[in-house]
Amino acid sequence: MKINFSEMYVDDGIKKAVLKILDSGRYIKGHELEIFEKEFADFCTSKFGVGVSSGTSAILLSLIAAGIKKGDEVIVPSHTFIASASPAKFLGCTPVYADIDPETYTMDVDHLKKLITSKTKAIIPVHLYGHPVDMKPLLEIAEDKGLFVIEDACQAHAAEYRGKKTGSLGDVGCFSFFPSKNMTVAGDGGMITTNNDELADKLSMLRDHGRKDKYIHEILGLNFRLSEIPAAVGREQLKHLPGWTDKRRKAAAKYNELLEGIVETPKEAKWAKHVYHLYVIQTDDRDGLSNHLNQQGISTGVHYPVPVHRQPCMDAGKLKLPVTDACVDRILSLPMHPQLKDEEIEYVAEKIKEWKK
Ligand SMILES: Cc1ncc(COP(=O)(O)O)c(C=O)c1O
């Protein structure tokens, strides 16, 4: 058997939507983007959606729109993809790394409290693997200290915190549509969600050379636009997202049932709706298990083997984050996508049990 780690879904509806744009001759700044922004924002129960070129640009532009600048401190977890933290570094800010909660792999809010200084201007909670951060205490701290909250929801489309969609909780929510995400645009793409009119306005100017009017550039911006073809694909994909989310959750439940007591399986907090962008287990000799599974035709991944604070480009010195540092050598991501069949999950579990004996 060969089991893919993730799979992109393409159907006739998507192909038709792409052809329609190709035939229309309008490739940027058209109706598909406008409608996709509206539909995605509605889905997230946010007032506005601003389509951008990637999840990375969503985070970068959010920092710029919030007025975060050189010398400011931005609190972010280290156990995440580098793009949660690199935009802050790129702007000359200092990323300050919070450790994670060992059950949810997301920002440890008690640690976050200890990291706030007079220079702190923003917090970037990351809903990693599709599990939301414990946002209530985080938002209370942010409000108390006047900090801007950028939800990194790049792995958390359709996830919920206490019944509310991720991306609708902070000042802005940042999404990625990279091909392996829970929904994609068949290439790079991203979206920023917000309830704030002024921010939405600023963000849409920042992503398009700082303008509303074709020839007047009110503020300094660059080109971070989302084109019409990806927007059209995104609209089609969004229709499937609720069904795909159910399938991911069912696949995770099946893995949990088969792997309980064999390896450490992921947890879902009682206030969370986890959308299992990644299904991450922990085990001793992670590399041994990963090699064994790969030899059996099962693709796996590690998200992420080197935490952000230990990346050479981030110059974070010899900082120690005990929970993050302890989990990175033990985590292994198993195949997870909505097309995954029960027999495939059973096969993966059987091969894990075989290796564990
Ligand atoms: C947690 C997280 N943040 C940010 C990003 C950046 O998104 P993109 O690859 O669309 O730039 C990603 C995706 O790769 C991600 O997983």
Residue 37 has pLDDT above 90, yes or no: yes
Mean pLDDT of 211-237: 98
Distance 334 CA to ligand 1 centre (A): 19
pLDDT grade for 216, boundaries at 50, 70 and 90: very high
Does residue 104's CB lie within 6 angstroms of at least one atom of ligand 1? no
Report whether residue 184 contacts ligand 1, using a CB cutoff of 6 Å. Answer: no
| Residues 6, 10, 11, 15, Cα dihedral to 10° | 180
Mutate to test the pocket of ligand 1, among 54, 61, 74, 81 (most ligand atoms within 8 A of CB): 81
Secondary structure of residue 343 in the 3-state scheme: helix
Cis amide prior to 9 (ω within 30 degrees): no
Q: Region of 276 please: left (phi>0), alpha (psi -120 to 50) or beta.
A: left
Pocket test for ligand 1, best of 52, 151, 155, 166 (most atoms within 8 A of CB): 155
Phi, psi of 33 (to 5 degrees): -65, -50
- Give the pLDDT band (50/70/90) at residue 357: confident
Tell me if 81 CB under 6 Å of ligand 1: yes
- Tell me what the mean pLDDT of segment 78-97 comes to: 98
Percent of the chain predicted with pLDDT > 70: 100
**Model confidence pLDDT, tens digit, residues 142-151:** 999 999 999 9
pLDDT at 79 over 90: yes
| pLDDT tens figures, 241-250 | 999 999 999 9
Q: How do residues 251-262 score in pLDDT, each as one tens digit? A: 999 999 999 999
pLDDT at residue 88 tops 90: yes
Contact 61, 149 (CB under 8 A): no
User: What pLDDT is stored for residue 50 in this prediction?
Assistant: 98
Is the beta carbon of 154 within 6 A of some atom in ligand 1? yes
Contact 82, 307 (CB under 8 A): no
What's the pLDDT at 343?
98
Position 101 scores a pLDDT of 98
How many angstroms separate the alpha carbon of residue 346 from the centre of ligand 1? 30
The per-residue pLDDT of the chain, averaged, comes to 98
From 120-129, 164-173, 274-283, 315-324, the region with the lowest mean pLDDT: 315-324
Segment 157-209, tens digit of pLDDT: 999 999 999 999 999 999 999 999 999 999 999 999 999 999 999 999 999 99
CB 258 within 8 A of CB 346: yes
Does the C-beta of 227 come closer than 6 Å to ligand 1? no
Locate the ligand 1 atom nearest the alpha carbon of residue 57 and give its number. 11
**190 within ligand 1 shell (Cβ under 6 A):** yes
Nearest to 282 by CA among 297, 295, 296, 300: 300
Please tell me if the CB atom of residue 178 comes closer than 6 angstroms to any atom of ligand 1: yes
C-alpha distances out from residue 177 to 85, 234, 237, 328, Å: 18, 8, 10, 25
166 in Cβ contact with 173 (< 8 Å): yes
Nearest 5°: the CA angle 180, 185, 189 is 90
Residue 327 pLDDT > 90, yes or no? yes
Q: Is the CB of 153 under 6 A from ligand 1?
A: no
The verdict on the CB of residue 304 being under 6 Å from ligand 1 is no
106 lines ligand 1 (CB under 6 A): no
Which ligand 1 atom is the nearest neighbour of the CA of 277? 16
The pLDDT score that the predictor gives to residue 218 is: 98
Give the Å distance between the CA of 154 and the centre of ligand 1. 5
Alpha-carbon span 240 to 206, nearest angstrom: 30
Answer yes or no: is pLDDT of 351 > 90: yes
Burial, 294: exposed, middle or buried (Cβ in 10 Å; 0-12, 13-18, 19+)?
exposed
Distance, CA 214 to ligand 1 centroid (Å)? 30
Residue 156: CB within 6 Å of ligand 1? no
Q: What is d(CA 21, CA 11) in angstroms, rounded to the nearest whole number?
A: 16
